[in-house]
Amino acid sequence: MPSVGTEGVKRGYVIPIGGAEEKIQHQDILKRFVEISSGSEARIAIIPTASELEDTGDNYVKLFKELGVAEAVSLNITTRSEAQVDSTIEVLNQATGIFITGGNQLRLSTILGGTPVAQAIRKLNAHGTHVAGTSAGAAIIPEHMIAGGEPGGTPKQGSVSLCPGLGLTNRLIIDQHFRQRDRLGRLMSAVAYNPFLIGLGLDEDTAAFIDPEGVLHVEGSGAITIVDPSDLEYSGIDRASHGDTISLIGMRVHVLTKGCTYIPETGAAAFPA
């Protein structure tokens, strides 16, 4: 479940995006993020830490301003000391939406992990601030983050590496650029390590808008692949040597497109009304 806030206060949306979201013509995902973040009154804090490109933050500032927000600020955090500055925390505290850009998710985990910025993001989301992340920014949203791995459609022992994420949810594990980079095998391997987790494989230009009640709504032009181990009967991961293919019996897989919903706590998937 996502982080729990104060009793009587709804947590914010959690919005992992599969990367390469449409920024020019059909900006459905970014427009929806702005809409739920208070539209023309939205104050968006952008965290481009994962990217090594100097203009990533500025480009998103321009993009969000073109979408009509009241304020968009890029927090150019490149060192752990910069993730402890009071003025940075204050910008986050004033934001109605926080957007974490793509790049290298290990930059996110090593620079932000355990810092006041990471703690603030978790606390703010629990108290109503919406948090979106694209590509690497999506990967770091859960408690367990996929740090890397091998492409391919078959789960194999050692084909995925994990590290701690932000912990906005402890029920999901997320992979991005999913179909485009052939990542079904590594997501299934990650789920096999801990069958409590439900895997979300996000195609590019596709997002999961997880609302305060925990219902996942699919938005965008691609699909979300759900890897659900709730009915898993057998996993051979404990008997496999490094590189061996893993047997998984009873794993459920859904492919959901725009308008579909999914409830991780019950495993209920539904097509658009």
The pLDDT of 154-169, averaged and rounded, is 97
The pLDDT of 175-188, averaged and rounded, is 98
Mean pLDDT, the chain, rounded, equals 96
1 lies in some domain: no
269 lies in some domain: no
Does residue 4 surpass a pLDDT of 70? no
246 lies in some domain: yes
- Tell me if residue 40 is catalytic: no
What does the pLDDT read at residue 35? Answer: 98
5 lies in some domain: no
What does the pLDDT read at residue 182? Answer: 98
Question: pLDDT tier at 44 (50, 70, 90 boundaries)?
Answer: very high
Catalytic hit among 130, 144, 177, 217: 177
225 lies in some domain: yes
What does the pLDDT read at residue 105? Answer: 96
201 lies in some domain: yes
What does the pLDDT read at residue 8? Answer: 78
Catalytic hit among 204, 217, 219, 235: 204
The pLDDT of 104-130, averaged and rounded, is 98
Q: What is the domain-level CATH number for residue 48?
A: 3.40.50.880
What does the pLDDT read at residue 5? Answer: 58
Whether 176 contacts 135, CB under 8 Å: yes
What does the pLDDT read at residue 257? Answer: 98
**Least confident piece of the model among 8-12, 71-75, 131-135:** 8-12
The pLDDT of 36-46, averaged and rounded, is 98
Give, rounded to a whole angstrom, the gap between the first and last alpha carbons of the chain.
Answer: 25
The pLDDT of 82-91, averaged and rounded, is 98
For the chain, the domain total comes to 1
8 lies in some domain: no
Q: What is d(CA 99, CA 21) in angstroms, rounded to the nearest whole number?
A: 13
Catalytic hit among 3, 74, 109, 135: 135
What does the pLDDT read at residue 273? Answer: 80
In tens, the pLDDT along 226-239 reads 999 999 999 999 99
The pLDDT of 157-177, averaged and rounded, is 97
Measured from the Cβ of residue 131, the count of other Cβ atoms closer than 10 Å reads 29
Does residue 3 surpass a pLDDT of 60? no
C-alpha distances out from residue 65 to 32, 60, 178, Å: 14, 8, 29
β-sheet bridge partners, residue 207: 17, 219
Does residue 218 surpass a pLDDT of 70? yes
- Provide the domain limits for residue 56: 14-261
- Three-state secondary structure along the chain? CECCCCCCCCCCCEEEECCCCCCCCCCHHHHHHHHHCCHHHCEEEEECCCCCCCCHHHHHHHHHHHCCCCEEEECCCCCCHHHHCHHHHHHHHHCCEEEECCCCHHHHHHHHCCCHHHHHHHHHHHCCCEEEEECHHHHCCECEEEEEECCCCCCECCCEEEEECCCCECCEEEECCCCCCCCHHHHHHHHHHCCCCEEEEECCCEEEEECCCCCEEEEECCEEEEEECCCCCEECHHHCCCCCECCEECCEEEEEECCCEEECCCCEEECCC
124 lies in some domain: yes
The pLDDT of 61-90, averaged and rounded, is 98
Does residue 37 surpass a pLDDT of 80? yes
- Tell me if residue 159 is catalytic: no
What does the pLDDT read at residue 30? Answer: 98
